[in-house]
Structure 1
Amino acid sequence: MRFVSFERDAKPALGIREGDLVRVLGDETLESLLERGIDLAEYARTNSSEETISSSDLKFLPPLRRPPKIICVGLNFAEHTSESKYEQPSYPTLFFRVHTSLIAHEQPMVRPAVADSEGLDFEGEIAVVLGKGGRHIAKEDALSHVAGYSVFNDGSVREYQFKTPQWTVGKNFDGTGAFGPDLVTADELPPGVKGLLLETRLNGKVVQSANTNEMVFDVESLISIISEAVTLEAGDVIVSGTPSGIGWAREPKLLMKAGDVCEVTVEKIGTLRNVIADEATA
């Protein structure tokens, strides 16, 4: 199933995508359903209404607006590690995003107004949404903790990312973490989303393209390794890493500017589209 979060009458609502239509389920959020341990498929069956809305008329919201945690993975494709001038680490490179950085499909991705930033870089990724949490999760059991998958664009303000050895600030500017549009339940996809094509396009041109089989740490490894240290919770999001082709590594650099259109497509999951806009200043 494909769950879509959207705004209706100035409130969040939830629906199921059926082709170009979204069937309305109600106003309970995915966060609430996952937190309560509700089976998503059963919820959809018992709460499906007769009301449908064209997806072109929706104001999308991120699939989850306030996940308990957003854990991002850096350097998870070897060619990206190489272009970034790092040695491939033997342990996942982890950092956190905050929910205030999230934006939805078709919402503007914000190029910040800070004077010492040249622009905003793209990073197409797959978001893993957990349906149940735990600590010390065995790798062989890890995929049973996944509710579904979505698409993410980890918009990065590179000058701020590299101001210090920690990447946190450059990865958390408001309006830079695009997420959505659908949460596709795990049963509709290959286990661990293996063998899927991930592509990023900037103004229609492919700038990133890789197969998920190229991940250094696969989804089940990430869940197991992270849970060695951190208690994972239902609704947590793991943003699983970007392939090579980032704009910062190019010569000349290819950074996003106002009016650019960035699209991230993951095979069988969907396309996330955002137009770049300059930050409004008073």
Structure 2
Amino acid sequence: MNFMDFTLRKGVVGLATGAGAIYLLYKAIKAGISSHSSIPTSSPVCIARLAIERERHGKDSGELRRLLNSLETKQDAYSKGMILHSITRCVYLLEAEEHSIKVLELISTVWDSELHIAGLRLLNGLPLPDFAHPQLRRVMPSLMEILQTDSILAQVQAVRLLSHLAQKNDLLYDILNCQVQSNFLNLFQPTQPGSLLFEVLVFAERLSEGRSSPHYRAVNWQYNEQSLHEALFGDESRLADRLLALVIHPEEEVQIQACKVIVSLQCPQDFGNQPSSCHTTSSCYNEGDAS
């Protein structure tokens, strides 16, 4: 499905909306970085029209328009990349909060790994307002599915966003009750890239801390059998075995983060001041250092 079909089907009025800008920028940046040839004329023309429309409604100073128009002239690869970078910064500044809702809809509707990477990177760089939480709940299954794809870059961006959301009290249950594949713990295999392992371990630590907090434990939550909660913290979970294997991982930051997850599992927040419940802390770090 091409982007125009998508916008028409969703009833997006004009290309001046955030999702349109993101998608066009994503395509333009991709073309500018991956090719030394000139950007297809349709992209800068469409983006210029977007800028003109925005300026007509008094929403920008004209800087974006000038940058976009400069794409019409012949540029070398470096200059073109710098212009595209400046355009992206302008879009960030112009609509920091409208973008989040539209990008969430885009990444959960168009199944394209490069689009997922671009959209998730943007979301990870923007403040997510509270009014976006209902939409976040709706796209949570898509975020979890992206985390379980075979695109490392998309997985890293998805788990970073989920780690951030796991710190929101009103979203924690939605994340933990999200359905995952039966092989979800393969994300914790030592053979995974260190960058991904580190991020999923941070995610696990934040989930563990969140579910151990007095605020969360005040409610008797019910989880489905295929939920993330059961995969990580259920009676049949093999997470502990995976964590022990990662304590001797070649990369130190993975070792340390695996130890942090182990400690968080054994030190509930409301008992964190009792040394006897956290006796494994030093031994875990010693084992990691010894490796």
| Higher fraction of helix | 2
| Larger RCO: 1 or 2 (CA < 8 Å, sep 6+) | 1
Task: Give the alignment's TM-score, normalised by structure 1.
Answer: 0.23
| Higher fraction of strand | 1
